[in-house]
Each structure stands twice: as C-alpha cells, then as structure tokens.
C-alpha cells in the first residue's frame, strides 16, 4: 500500500519524540525564554548614540532637527501627483489585493527593467529583478544571500549605519574602507584592496552617498571594478540615490561599466519618488557570465520568507515609473541643490567648521575642528551642546563611524535651514578658541 511508508514514519516519529521527551525535559523547571544572537546583535547605532546624548533643547528657540532622514517630514517635498494617482488607481482596480509572485508582479518588474535599462548594456531580464520591502530589505537579502558567519564584507566609512546593523547580527565581520574627504569622498582604494582576503564575500558601495552626498566618477568606479575583478569579488551597489545628483554631476551605475564583475544593484522608490513609507525597493541582479546563478537562486529563496512586498504599490509601479515627469525630479533636485549651496556658503565662513559641498543625495558632511572648540570633548559633545544652546540638532559623525564631523540633512525648508545655519554660526563663534592656554583650564573644569 502507498500509505505504509507514511505510517512507518509516523511510528518512527512517535518513538523519536518519546525519546526526546524523556531526555530533555529535566532542565525545564522554570520559565527561561531567551532571544537569539541575531536579535540581540541587531543594533542600530544611531539610536544608541542619540539616546546617550543629554539633550534638552533651548526652550526659547524652536527646535530645528537637521537629523531627520525622512524627506517627507516637513511637507515641503511631496510625492508627485502621478505617483499618488497610480496608487489610487491600483486600489480602485481591485486587482492588487492578492499575493503576487514572491519576486514581485511581472508587470512591475518589467517596468523596473525598462526604468533601469541604463544600468546595463545587456538586457535586464525580469527574472533578475526582486521587488522588496524598501531598499533596506533589498540590502538585507543581498547580504544574506552572499555572506555568512566567518566571512567579511567591506563597507564604506563614513557610511549608512544600516549596513552594520544588517551585517553584525549575522556574525559577519565588518571591514571599513575609508572615504576620503579631501578627494571628494572617493574610496581609499589602496586600503580597500589591502582588506580583501579569502573570506571577503562582497564589497558594498553606496553611490551617491549617504551621509556624504558624494558621487563617484566614472574613472573611480572603473578603478573599483578593476580591484573586484582582480579578486573575484561581487559588488553590492546601494543606488537608492540614483539620478539624485546636482547639475554638473552625473550618476553612473557601476553595473553599466562592468564587464566581468557581478553587481547586485539595490534601489527603490523611497528617495527619488519621496515615498519612504511605501516600503518599495528592489534588487537588480547584473550577472556577468553566470557567476551569480547560485546567489540568484538564493535570493529567490529569500523572497519566500515574507512572500514579497506590498502588492498595492507593486500594482502602481508601472504607472509611477512611466508617468512621473522629468520636471518633477528637476524641481526636487533644484530645491536640494539650492539648500546645499545656501548651507555650504554659510557654513564655510564659520571658523572651525569645514563643510564639504555635496554633488547629490540629501546630505552634507561638515568637518568640526574639535581642537578649536576645547570645551567639547568630541563630535557627540559638540552636537549635544549645540542642541542645548541653539536647538539645532545634527547627527554626529560617530553615527557613521566618522568622528569629528556632523551630518546635515538638506531636505528641511529653506527658511529653517537658513535659521539653523545662523544659529550654528552663533554657537561656533561663542565657543571657538584661538588661544590654547584657555583650553587647559576649561578642560579641567569639564565633567562631561
Ligand atoms: C534611505 C536609504 C536606504 C533605505 O531605503 P528604504 O527604501 O527606506 O529601505 C538605503 N540606503 C541608503 C543609503 C539610504 O539613505
């Protein structure tokens, strides 16, 4: 009979569980529920750092948070009407209430392939596109599919802290390669190359960069590709700020230059379409010579963990990508570029600060010459006291593994940014010290 095998199994299983029971219940005498290493080690640095600051904003000055990475917070930057309409239509059609393919709706993936055609000289196939819950989950899948315990990945410093959050919980070693402020935040390639060993699973690049706002040149990308080719190293490219560059700069997708190095490009609607809450991102696998066959299958498996992202937005993706007019993007870029110029021009006049003009994205890094502010121990202390005196809050560089800098978000309304910069000026003028002898006595009195 067909069932006999199954029945035998059942009997065997029953016997097994009986054995387990008698052997393992002895220690279960009280509640002792533990969480996992992964859960324990999944830590967002920014939260920890911000919570460690002793912040009480000056009640006489309204708070200006230049920390908030969500560009929709202040209401000055809005999703396009085409974007909103596309979702309304997806809802009204009633066609997107069910599960989609776990990699995403075919039509949405076709639209992403077309929208991303510039990323490759080869045709992008829909089977190589994975729609994910935000770019964050795209990055997570790439890391999970490429690296595991005992291996290492190379991450940029300064860099988006999510990378570390995703990697460390998995007991994967993080190796930071430096971005060089004096070279427009290009990667220190010599150092990067020296970090590669047999256990290096991937190089992660973020272009344009959060927090630097920098954009890699073609030549620099080619140099990176040459190193990866030499060591057979795949690239995870966080390109969530693709196209998000100021006039005069150009964003080049690293995959478009790659002949032999496989690239996993992570992108999404979040930043360019100004809908972070919609949690819509994607991975585009740019294989070169079938080197990622196994990894692509691994990504397919990953997608089965949560059965894909929100289908309503997936239903809207084709219309969003096709109908949003260029003028919409140009206006957003224009606002950010104007904000960047204003901030740069005001901050570069301040003694002790060294702003670095970005070429894209939504951020500016500002060097803080902490020796010139002897009352403050470090960048954390500096930003803390700036909130307490001036109610202007910037994220300290330490959040990005890069002390003695602070990051300014450029998406706040222009008037607020201008007010913030003038308060930063006041703050710096009040605390800047030329003479070192004053420093010593102050240091002794400081108890921070
Ligand atoms: C905002 C951001 C993301 C995350 O995007 P989500 O789509 O909101 O998950 C990823 N990488 C960088 C560099 C970002 O700034």
If you measure from the C-alpha of residue 35 to the centroid of ligand 1, how many angstroms do you get, rounded to a whole number?
Answer: 27
Q: Which of 273, 255, 252, 275 is nearest to 264 (CA)?
A: 255
User: What pLDDT is recorded for position 14?
Assistant: 52
Pocket of ligand 1 (CB under 6 A): 134-136, 160, 206, 210, 238, 240, 268, 270-271, 276, 281
What is the C-alpha separation between 162 and 230, in angstroms, rounded?
28
Helix-helix angle 293-306:134-146, to 10 degrees: 130
Share of the chain above pLDDT 70, in %: 92
pLDDT: which is higher, 6 or 129: 129
If you measure from the C-alpha of residue 150 to the centroid of ligand 1, how many angstroms do you get, rounded to a whole number?
Answer: 26
Contact 357, 248 (CB under 8 A): no
Which run of H or of E encompasses 301?
A: helix 293-306
If you measure from the C-alpha of residue 324 to the centroid of ligand 1, how many angstroms do you get, rounded to a whole number?
Answer: 21
pLDDT in tens, 359-408: 999 999 999 999 999 999 999 999 999 999 999 999 999 999 999 999 99
Sheet holding 263-268, edge to edge: 129-133, 280-286, 263-268, 235-238, 200-206, 152-157, 173-180, 186-187
Question: Which atom of ligand 1 lies nearest, measured to the CA of 209?
Answer: 13
If you measure from the C-alpha of residue 387 to the centroid of ligand 1, how many angstroms do you get, rounded to a whole number?
Answer: 26
pLDDT band at 19 (very low <50, low <70, confident <90, very high): low
Overall average pLDDT of the 127-149 stretch: 97
pTM, entire model: 0.91
Query: How much helix, strand and coil, in percent to the nearest 5, is found in the chain?
Result: 45, 15, 40
User: What pLDDT is recorded for position 25?
Assistant: 80
Q: What is the DSSP letter of 292?
A: S
Q: What is the DSSP letter of 370?
A: G
Distance of CA 356 to the CA centre of its chain: 20
**What is the overall mean pLDDT for the chain?**
93
User: What pLDDT is recorded for position 448?
Assistant: 45
């Amino acid at each position: 009979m067909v069932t006999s095998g199954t029945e035998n199994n059942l009997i065997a299983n029953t016997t097994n569980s009986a054995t387990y029971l008698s052997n393992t219940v002895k220690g279960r005498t009280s509640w002792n529920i533990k969480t996992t290493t992964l859960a324990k080690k999944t830590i967002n640095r920014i939260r920890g750092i911000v919570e460690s600051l002793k912040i009480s904003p000056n009640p006489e000055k309204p708070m200006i948070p230049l920390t908030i990475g969500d560009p929709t917070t202040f209401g000055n930057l809005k999703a396009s009407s085409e974007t909103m309409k596309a979702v309304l239509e997806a809802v009204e059609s009633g066609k997107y209430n069910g599960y989609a393919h776990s990699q995403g709706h075919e039509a949405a993936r076709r639209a992403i392939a077309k929208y991303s055609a510039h990323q490759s000289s080869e045709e992008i196939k829909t089977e190589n596109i994975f729609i994910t819950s935000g770019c964050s989950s795209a990055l997570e899948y790439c890391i999970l599919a490429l690296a595991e315990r005992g291996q290492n990945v190379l991450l940029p410093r300064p860099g988006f802290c999510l990378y570390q959050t995703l990697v460390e919980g998995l007991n994967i070693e993080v190796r930071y390669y430096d971005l060089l402020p004096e070279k427009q935040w290009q990667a220190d390639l010599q150092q990067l190359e020296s970090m590669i060993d047999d256990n290096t699973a991937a190089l992660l690049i973020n272009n344009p960069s959060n927090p630097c706002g920098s954009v890699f040149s073609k030549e620099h990308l080619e140099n990176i590709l040459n190193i990866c080719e030499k060591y057979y190293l795949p690239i995870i490219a966080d390109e969530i700020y693709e196209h998000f560059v100021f006039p005069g700069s150009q964003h080049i997708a690293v995959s478009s230059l790659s002949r032999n190095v496989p690239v996993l490009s992570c992108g999404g609607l979040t930043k360019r379409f100004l809908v972070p809450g919609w949690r819509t991102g994607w991975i585009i696998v740019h294989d070169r010579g079938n080197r990622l066959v196994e990894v692509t299958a691994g990504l397919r498996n990953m997608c089965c963990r949560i059965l894909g992202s929100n289908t309503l937005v997936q239903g809207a993706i084709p219309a969003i990508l096709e109908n949003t007019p260029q003028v919409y993007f140009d206006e957003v870029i224009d606002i950010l570029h104007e904000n960047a110029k204003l901030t740069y021009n005001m901050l570069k006049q301040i003694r002790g600060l060294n702003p670095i003009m970005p070429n894209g994205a939504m951020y500016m890094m500002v060097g803080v010459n902490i020796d010139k502010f002897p009352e403050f121990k470090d960048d954390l202390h500096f930003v803390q006291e700036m909130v307490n005196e001036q109610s202007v809050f910037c994220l300290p560089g330490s959040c990005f593994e890069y002390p003695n800098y602070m990051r300014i978000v450029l998406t706040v309304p222009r008037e607020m940014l201008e007010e913030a910069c003038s308060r930063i000026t006041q703050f710096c003028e009040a605390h800047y010290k030329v003479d070192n002898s004053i420093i010593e006595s102050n240091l002794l009195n400081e108890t921070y």
